[in-house]
Amino acid sequence: MTHAPIAAPWWETAAVYQIYPRSFADSNGDGIGDLRGIIDRLDHVADLGADAIWISPIYRSPMADFGYDISDHLDIDPIFGTLADADDLIASAHAHGLRVIFDIILGHTSDEHPWFIAAAEGRDSPFREFYTWRDGPTPGSPVGGPPNNWTAGFPAGAPAWTWHAPASQWYLHSHLPQQPDLDWSNPDVRRAQLDVLRFWLDRGVDGVRLDSIARIGKDPELRDNIPGQPDRHQNWPVVHEYLREVRAVLDSYPDRMAVGEVWLFEQDLIAPYLMADQLQLTHNFVFARLPFDPAAIGTAVADFEKLADDRVWPAWFLNNHDEPRIATRWNTATDDEALREARLRLAAVLILTLRGTPFLYQGEELGLADTNLAAGVGSDANARDPQRTPMPWKPPSLAGPGAGFTTGEPWLPVGADATTRNVDTQNRSGDSTLAFYRKLLRLRRSRQSLLTGHQSLINSPEGVLAFVRSTNSEHSLIALNFTAEMQTLHLPAPTHALSTASHLLSNHAQLAQPPMSTVSTLELRPWESVVADLTHG
Ligand code: NOJ
Ligand code: CA
């Protein structure tokens, strides 16, 4: 009997590709990526087999945090292009079969936003209450210091308050002092920011990534955080009420979604954000801090499955513009090139076969590492430049130091690995990292079990992570050998009852193993990652 495919919303089956616009493609030679550049390179994303793009912020901004400090939510920064370019980008992505996710920052603005400029004029400003101001001792006075012990992200652990001399008050910010927090307890703020959301939904974006979203809810009494419970009063449960209002706006349009950046490292804290009336997805940060260790990864996956019922859908990532790339983080100085490559491919198989929505970060498909920058190069407040260097499209030996990213001087140097890890060179080889990602994404798309199937982890030898993804009619076995030794995986019942398995994909160049006639065991070669079909014989 055949089963109708399970209808799943697009964001559950999509593979999402993150574009950091400053570093993706520069169309006008000023050394900074822009919207025209993205439009020109959408073929690459569509050929890769991604289903959606998430674009980091492109709005008007003084760029203290490279766009995460917005001075006008409703216009595009001239460095990136114009509103007409944004419309073209949305239309062009759709024509390529790609959904579009914009990065929306509900919780803070730039200090150069007209709301903050007005608010800073004085205590009587009609916009004063858009932000949080508190009296407190003047810095430097004998009892000087901010109103409470809350901390900001940049630099990590700095006070979340900055003294504003003209009105002799402190204002609150979760990130840089140039990024004052909006006060979401003020209904006027909520109304204004939900209008921003509508503005972009009306222009045709399919989804939004909600930046630093846990921070829109704060303890109204501004009480001190408690030692051992970091940030608790800065991530107050009232956030869930606000998210219901956000969700109501999304639901007033067909098929729109929000993925939240819930920057919390304990998975039980993110589950409440994934309720039916709130976010469809949250980035799961747990992998960002895990070592290259199958036991730790397996535990994180199992923990999420335990927490979440069937309606809650995970979203996994290994790289983004804030975190060191895994090609750096998961490698050691002693790794040779073959081992380095095997690890990258193992990571690719992991992220693209786990139950959940995978998010890839530009350059991940080339296996890019962080770029070693000379002292004094790079200007990010939080030292995130090494993972933000430009995307290499061509070998620098042919295209010069811009590596096809720009004809001018790139705003940050392209990484040394661009000699081989660039799009053109990898496009020419059937065995490149890029070719492997492409194969894997195609395989994923072609197998319902990898898209929507249930997942069960298999009891594996130390050093191996293995799981089965199943629908009623299709079973995919994923087995990842994290060691330099051969490993034998014993497949337990009921998988064991299935009688044939064949490799669909392996990171070993040849699929030396013929289709197996029995699947009670599976031999894994050193560092091998396998996706196999299990069928009833
Ligand atoms: C999270 C973003 O990913 C990061 O790049 C940014 O600096 C902070 N939020 C503040 O907006
Ligand atoms: Ca440009």
Domain locations along the chain? 10-107+184-219+227-441, 114-172, 453-535
Amino acid (one-letter) located at 9 = P
Residues with CB under 6 A from ligand 1: 65, 68, 105, 175, 211-212, 261, 321-322
Q: Which CATH architecture has domain 10-107+184-219+227-441?
A: Alpha-Beta Barrel (3.20)
Cα-to-centroid distance, 106 and ligand 1 (Å) = 12
- What's the Cα-to-Cα distance from 3 to each of 85, 270, 459, rounded to whole Å? 43, 33, 29
In tens, the pLDDT along 350-379 reads: 999 999 999 999 999 999 999 999 999 999
Task: Answer yes or no: 88 catalytic.
Answer: no
pLDDT of residue 99: 98
User: Which CATH superfamily hosts domain 453-535?
Assistant: Golgi alpha-mannosidase II (2.60.40.1180)
What string of H, E and C letters represents the secondary structure of 51-97?
A: CEEEECCCEECCCCCCCCCCCEEEEECCCCCCHHHHHHHHHHHHHCC
The pLDDT value recorded for residue 48 is 98
What was the pLDDT predicted at 2? 42
Predicted confidence (pLDDT) per residue in 102-112, tens digit = 999 999 999 99
Residue minimizing CA distance to atom 3 of ligand 1:
322
Neighbouring C-beta atoms of residue 268, cutoff 10 Å: 12
Span from the CA of 78 to the centroid of ligand 1 (angstroms): 21
Nearest protein CA to atom 6 of ligand 1, as residue: 68
Give the separation between CA 437 and CA 49, rounded to whole angstroms: 9
- 3-state secondary structure string across 478-505: EEEECCCCCEEEECCCCHHHCCEEEEEE
Query: What's the pLDDT at 504?
Result: 80
Ligand 1 site-directed mutation target among 68, 261, 282, most atoms within 8 Å of CB: 68
Ligand 1 mutation pick, 55, 70, 212, max ligand atoms within 8 A of CB? 212
Q: Are the beta carbons of 49 and 438 closer than 8 angstroms?
A: yes
| Correct CATH for 114-172 of 3.90.400.10, 3.40.50.2300, 3.20.20.10, 3.30.360.10 | 3.90.400.10
Closest ligand to 27 CA? 2
Neighbours of ion ligand 2 (CB under 5 A): 26, 28, 30, 32, 34
Whether the bond into 494 is cis, omega within 30 of 0? yes
Burial class (CB in 10 A: 0-12, 13-18, 19+), 248: exposed
| Contact indicator for 43, 17 with CB cutoff of 8 Å | no
Token pair belonging to 205: 């974006």
Token pair, residue 272, equals: 């409440």
Prediction pTM value: 0.96
Report residue 457 as tokens: 């982890």
Token reading at 480? 């990842």
Residues of the chain with pLDDT under 70: 1-6, 142-143, 308-310, 493-501, 509-519, 536-537
Neighbours of 155 (CB within 10 A): 11
User: CB atoms < 10 A from the CB of 1, how many?
Assistant: 4
Active-site annotation holds for 211: yes
- Listed in sequence order, the residues at least 6 apart from 151 whose beta carbon sits closer than 8 Å to its beta carbon are 157, 158, 159, 160, 225, 231
CA atoms within 13 A on the CB side of 240: 11
Best CA proximity match to 366, nearest among 354, 348, 379: 348
